[in-house]
Amino acid sequence: MQDAIHIDDLASPVYSELQRSILDYGKTLAVSLDAGEILREAEAAVALDDFGSMDFVQRLELLCDEWRNNASLNNLGKTSLRNKLSLYARNRLLIQDLLNRHPEIHQVEIRAPIIVAGLPRSGTTHLLNLMAADKRLRSLPLWESYEPVPTPAERALAGGTEPRYKRCQDAWDMMQQTLPHMAAMHPMNPEHIHEELELMGPDFASYNFEWLCQCPRWRDHYYASNQAPHYEYMKTVLKILTWQDGDASGANTRWVLKCPQHLEQLPVLRKVFPDATLAITHRDPVSVIQSAVTMLAYGQRMSHATVDVDAILHYWVDRVQHLLRACVRDRHLFNNVQSIDVLFHEFMADDVVMVEKIYAIAGLDMTPAAESQLRSFMAANARGKHGRMVYELERNFGVAPSDLRKRFNFYFDAFPVQVED
Condensed to tens digits (0 to 9), the pLDDT of residues 34-79 reads 999 999 999 999 999 999 999 999 999 999 999 999 999 999 999 9
Which of 154-158, 223-227, 252-256 has the weakest average pLDDT? Answer: 154-158
Torsion (CA) 269, 330, 348, 194 in degrees, nearest 10: 20
188 pLDDT more than 60: yes
Q: Which residues pair with 342 in a beta bridge?
A: 281
Calpha distance 364→87 (Å, rounded): 37
Q: What percent of the chain has pLDDT over 70?
A: 99
108 pLDDT more than 90: yes
* Burial (Cβ within 10 Å: 0-12, 13-18, ≥19) of residue 208: middle
**CB 281 within 8 Å of CB 327:** no
Q: Domains along the chain?
A: 4-30+113-150+161-414 (3.40.50.300)
Calpha distance 137→371 (Å, rounded): 13
386 pLDDT more than 70: no
Nearest-5° Cα angle at 116, 133 to 371:
30
**CB 334 within 8 Å of CB 266:** yes
Q: What is the pLDDT of residue 1?
A: 42
